[in-house]
Amino acid sequence: MKKLFSLLIFFSLILINNSFAQVELVQPNHPVYDFLQRMQTLKIIFDYNPANIPLSRENVASYLKTIAEKKSRITSVDREILKDLDTEFEYELTGSLKKAAPLFDQGFKNFFSDDKQKYLYDYADSNATLFLDVLGELSQRESRGDSLGRHSITLGEAGFRVRGTLYNSVGYFLRASNGQKLSGDSADVTFARHTDPKLFAQYKFEYEQRNFDTFVGYLRYRAAGDWIAITAGRSPVYQGFGFIDRLFLSNNTVPFDYLRLDLGYKAVEYSFMYGSLRGDSLGRRLDAKNIATHRLDINFSDAFRLGFFESVIIANSPFSFTFLNPISFLTSAELSKASQPDENNTNNSIMGFDAMVIPARKLALQGSLLIDDLEFNTLFKDNSKITNKFAWQFGLMWSDAFTLPNLELKSEYTRLDPFVYSHVSNKTVYTNWNLPLGHHLEPNSDEIAFKLNYDFSNRVNINVLYQHQRSANGIETDSAGRVIVNYGGNRNNASGYSYSDPEFLKGHRINRDIITTNFTWQFIRQFFLEFKYVHRIIDDMYQSVKFTDDYGFATLRIDY
C-alpha cells in the first residue's frame, strides 16, 4: 500500500509539473542569458549550454529553481535579479499567476507596479496558456563625425507579443511591430540604417523613408521528456561559445525563417536547421538563398564542453532534399549532390569546432575554430595559391572581476583569414540581408576586444566595450575593369580569388578603435530608459587619413 501511495504522489508531481510547462522560447536578447552564464561561471548551475540558444521558458525556469536553492552563495544584487526573474517566470516556476497584473482584468491600478508582472491579457488552464503584451519604443538618435556626418532622427515603434503553450507540448509565439520616422530626412534614414541591423534589413524604410516593420513568429513542438523538439518559423538563433561575438551564428544580422530539429539525451545535444536567407550577388537579386546547419554539443563534465558546427549556403535552389537530411555530413553532401552543375562548387560550406572550459570558480575560457576551406596537401605550405581559410577565436570571462561583486570582464581575440565567409561565386556568401551571419569582422582582419559589465543594482546596468581592429581590403583592376588582385577583405566580393595573394593583413590597411557604452535603467518594472554611445577612430593607413565619429541612441522602451 505504501508503494502504491508513493507512486501516486510521484505521478501526481509529474502531472503538476507538466501542467504549467511552457514550451515557447525565451528570445536570445533577454538578459536572463547573461545571468545564467554568470551563474555557470560561479558554479551555481552546471549543465547550461550558452553555445546554442534560445532556450524554452521551462528550461530557463529549471535553472532559476537551481539558483534559488543556492541563493545564499550569490550576491545581494544577484538575489534581487533572481527575485525579478522569479516574478517574470512565475507561471513556469509555480503554475500560479498571483504576481500577474493583466490590464484587461485589473485595469490601471498596477500599471506602475514594481512587484507585479504586467500583461495586457493572460489566460491559463490545464490545457492552454496565452499571454498578450503590448510593446512601445521612442528613440532619439544622433551622430557627428568625419565619415558619418551630423544627423538627428527620431523613431517611434509600437507592437504586440502573444505567446503560450497548448497541451503542454506545442508552443506558439508572435511578436510584430510597426515603426515610423517621426523626424529626420533621407540622410538621417541612411545613418539609422547603417547603425542598426534591424533597420538595415528594411527595403521599405530605405525607399519610403518613413515606415518599417518587423516580426518574429513560430510554432514549436516539444515531446515529453524534452528529448526532441521541432520548430518552424522565424526567430533568432545564436550558436558558438563567443563571449563578445560568435564565429558561427550571431546577432549581427536579423532573424530568418527556418525549420529546426533539436535532439537531446543526457550530456549530448544535437541541432539541425534548414532556413531561407535574403541575399544578392554584387547587387543582383538572387531567386533563392538557403542555409543548412548542424550542431553537436557534448558536455564531458561540469568544467568542459565541446561543440562541432557545420553549415552550407545554397544559392538559386529553393529546396533541396540533399541538405534537408538531418543526419549527414554537409561538406560531403555538397560535393555529391545530384544537382552539381560543374566543377566549380557554387555552394559555400564551412565547419568548425569550439570548446568552453571552467578551470576555476569565476573563470571561463573558450576557443573556437572555423574552417572555410581545407586542402590537406597544402596545409603546411606557404605560397599564394593555398586555399586553406580559417578563423579562430580565444576568449576569457571573469566574474566578480578584480574582487568586485557583479563586475564581469570579458576579453576576446578573433582572427579571420582573407576571404573567410566569402565565396568565389559571390552568391553564397555567409550573410543574410548582406549582414554577417557570423562574426561582425570583415575577412582579412583581427580584433582584440575587452568588455566590462556591471550591475549597480537589479535594475541598473552599464557595460563598456573596447575593440581594436586591424583590417586590409581592396580590389585592383586593369583598364578593362577585370580584377587583377583581390586582397580578400570584403565578405561580399571574392572576385579574382583563385589568382590573388591571400596573405594576412596584406592590402589597403585600416585600423579602428571603437568604444561602445550601454546604460540600462529599469526605473519601473517593464519600463526602461536606455542609452548607447559609440566613439570610433578609423585610421585609413592606405590613404593616410584618420576619421573620428560619434553617435548615440536615447531610448524609452515599454514592455507591458
Q: Tell me the per-residue pLDDT of 201-227, one tens digit each, with 9 for 90 and over.
A: 998 898 889 999 999 999 999 999 999
pLDDT tens column, 341-379? 544 567 899 999 999 999 999 999 999 999 997 665 555
Long-range contacts at 263-267 (CB < 8 A, ≥ 24 apart) = 263/227, 263/228, 264/226, 264/227, 264/228, 265/227, 267/47, 267/298, 267/299, 267/300
HSE value, Cβ hemisphere, 13 Å, CA-based, for 228 = 3
Q: What are phi and psi of 465, to 5 degrees?
A: -120, 125
Report which of 391, 510, 495 is spatially closest to residue 443, judged by C-alpha positions. Answer: 391
Helix or strand run (H / E) with residue 275: strand 268-276
pLDDT confidence of residue 15 = 38
pLDDT confidence of residue 201 = 94
- With b for 16 or more beta-carbon neighbours within 10 A and e for fewer, the 261-270 pattern comes to bbebeeeebb
pLDDT tens column, 410-424? 999 999 999 999 998
pLDDT at 44 over 80: yes
Residues near 501 by beta carbon (within 8 Å), at least 6 away in sequence: 384, 485, 487
pLDDT at 481 over 60: yes
Provide the pLDDT confidence category of residue 471 given band limits of 50, 70 and 90: very high
pLDDT confidence of residue 287 = 85
pLDDT tens column, 251-286? 999 999 999 999 999 999 999 999 999 988 887 888
- Burial class for 241, CB neighbours closer than 10 Å (0-12, 13-18, 19+): buried
Find where cell 537579386 sits. Answer: 285
Beta strands in 320-427 (DSSP E): 348-360, 363-373, 389-399, 407-416
Residue 98 CB: number of other CB atoms within 10 A? 9
Distance, in Å, from the CA atom of 84 to the CA atom of 342, rounded to the nearest integer, reads 58
pLDDT at 11 over 60: no
Q: What percent of the chain has pLDDT over 70?
A: 92
pLDDT confidence of residue 282 = 83
pLDDT confidence of residue 244 = 98
| 8-state DSSP, 329 | -
pLDDT tens column, 300-351? 999 999 999 999 999 887 777 788 888 888 877 776 666 555 445 678 999 9
Distance, in Å, from the CA atom of 82 to the CA atom of 310, rounded to the nearest integer, reads 36
CB 227 within 8 A of CB 265: yes
Long-range contacts at 61-65 (CB < 8 A, ≥ 24 apart) = 61/22, 61/89, 61/92, 61/93, 63/36, 63/39, 64/89, 64/93, 65/93
* Backbone φ/ψ region at 282: left (φ over 0), alpha (ψ -120 to 50), beta: left
pLDDT confidence of residue 17 = 43
Provide the pLDDT confidence category of residue 497 given band limits of 50, 70 and 90: confident
